Structure 1
């Protein structure tokens, strides 16, 4: 009888998938147009300034967020559920909107909700996109079984993704490093505005925010900055994008040679120097710099034991930074867990919401 080491198999599934997607160059690499020039410098300056002033202080100065009035249309209704699609102008400030691609200016969401339960008896969770998650369907499938517990699902289409993708971008392969910071900043502003709108305009009973991988990083940031307790559910999430692009498999899908030649850098730099520059830039996405959420017990991280994209130490850093939060482990890699552990993610969503008053 042949004995298979499942952890080894899951880990290598990540690497086989990564080889097909990144090493064989079946698609263009990430950041094929370089760092992003003055746009990157502007974003770096803005984010560093916010960190130095204190994220809580900056967040409170910009709260409440701009009001939104989504235009809704009903896609379908059944006896027990309703799916609607809404659009609204991104609430990002004028400076950020100016550097966002025009295709990203209009935000799109889909909301799956129970038909006959009033909002004050319903919870709602905002689901944010992981890398490559362009549509709504995968996250709607994750949230659909939760309707039985009166938990609605709000899915936000990220800037640079889906119908918000600029025409020169191939799939999820962002053209510039600055695009990654822009995507994150706009997603955070839009998700925070949606939480405020759901809390104050709709009156949902409880709120949460979740996401897988990159979406989990954004969910953690959004939840930590919200002024009232919300459930925060980051799944398969690194503590920083630097881990994904400098340590994990995504490093093999990054256009390092282009970044080495970029005119933004003075002089010729080695691969090691450029990787270190990337670490410095993406350290701006470090979740451990963000404030402790209002209810840490409602924070549940789900991490994979054999993740080729997110190393163990990164998930543990998140839990250490937020005492009182919980890490749950699933057996698998990044890819296999993404495909096979929906029930674990759904249980974490329910448990996080249950821990809110």
Structure 2
């Protein structure tokens, strides 16, 4: 009998499909590739986000030992990349949770918590992260992901993003929205400030953290350097609608969209085409392949799933394009590093099958990044190791001096 890990078992019983409508409208995909130039530059990104973004406070709840302030604001992405975000996602909704009694008048720490896949609303992060951190004197901001909860567009089932491009837009949107919230915290006198997240939220926390212009607490958990391995090697590869992606890819090829996308990449940061068409993926030509991988970060061979190998045989072109596109758009090594003096703790799972073996981890590309490991896989860590994530956040704030 073949035993299934918790990561594999959850994928078997959860039937949500990703990217059922393909890669996304080509004009939006190309628009985001252009926008990535903004995300890759801290100063330019900050200049696109207005200092006076109006924040609407909807409700203030005074509890015995804390206050919950709910609000929203128009996402800066609406003006930066017009039309790229669904109307339903244009307003960023957040919840600010602060203690009635801070550790001191000069120290009022607040951490932004970005959502992982499937984390709709604010309840889970409020109960599992914000309230326990209150006991440590740390306030929290819980942000609703675009494409999630009250920001979910029609036609999307649960967390199953309709297009590959939606994933890029989600991350880029949260990056600029986090800048608005960090500035809001500064105006209120809070600090030190931090950003954290688990899984998808961990990757987005890393993106948001490196865009801030001052030292920051950054605690990404269960994240990868890029989405490439997640959707071509991890268990989520089986959740993608590969037949639709392959169909779309043929249409892109006929209209020259692939070549145009590669041309835009070259304009953004001088990326060299890997082949005449630009999308035959070759690990030897991968600019990140020279990063060493610690042996303890590899997935054990007995956990490798033959189903993914079969998918790759059937949809090889789409697998190659997915790896190319994810690496070019989302790889953290293509971005700037966080400001010197930031306190960074990266928490990873040793047997993570959602975030599989990848060439490198944050500590390989970010100086002064401490790496911690939980035993078990992705799902078991999300359920059973929350205390280790909370401890990493608390430790990071405790040891942060901002110098």
TM-score (norm 1): 0.88
Shift of 1:174: 0.7
- Structure 2 Cα separation of the partners of residues 240 and 286 of structure 1: 4
The CA deviation string for residues 152-198 of structure 1, in whole angstroms up to 9 with x for no partner, is 01000011000000111001101111111111111111011101111
Question: 1:229, 1:294 within 8 Å by CA — same for their partners in 2?
Answer: yes
- Structure 1 Cα separation of the partners of residues 341 and 222 of structure 2: 18
For residues 254 and 296 of structure 1, do their structure 2 counterparts lie closer, same or farther at Cα, with a shift above 3 Å needed?
Answer: farther
Shift of 1:313: 4.0
- SS of 2:5's equivalent? helix
Shift of 1:16: 0.9
Shift of 1:120: 4.1
Q: Does 1:239 align with 2:225?
A: yes
* Most deviating of 248-257 and 293-302: 293-302
Pick the aligned partner of 1:103 from 88, 96, 101: 88
Shift of 1:119: 6.7
- SS of 1:265's equivalent? helix
Partner of 1:205: 191
Pick the aligned partner of 1:149 from 125, 136, 139: 136
Structure 1 runs, 4 residues or longer, greater than 4 Å off: 63-66, 267-270
Question: 1:127, 1:210 within 8 Å by CA — same for their partners in 2?
Answer: yes
1:265-344 mapped onto 2 (5 Å cutoff) = 265-267=252-254, 271-283=315-327, 284-295=329-340, 298-313=343-358, 316-344=360-388
The runs of 5 or more residues in structure 2 that have no matched partner are 256-278, 280-313
Partner of 1:170: 157
Indicate the RMSD between aligned Cα atoms, in angstroms.
2.3
The runs of 5 or more residues in structure 1 that have no matched partner are 1-7
Q: Does 1:351 align with 2:361?
A: no
1:32-71 mapped onto 2 (5 Å cutoff) = 32-37=20-25, 38-47=27-36, 49-50=37-38, 55-62=41-48, 65-71=51-57
For residues 343 and 295 of structure 1, do their structure 2 counterparts lie closer, same or farther at Cα, with a shift above 3 Å needed?
Answer: farther
Shift of 1:59: 2.9
Shift of 1:46: 2.8
Task: State the number of aligned residues.
Answer: 338
Partner of 2:107: 121
TM-score (norm 2): 0.79
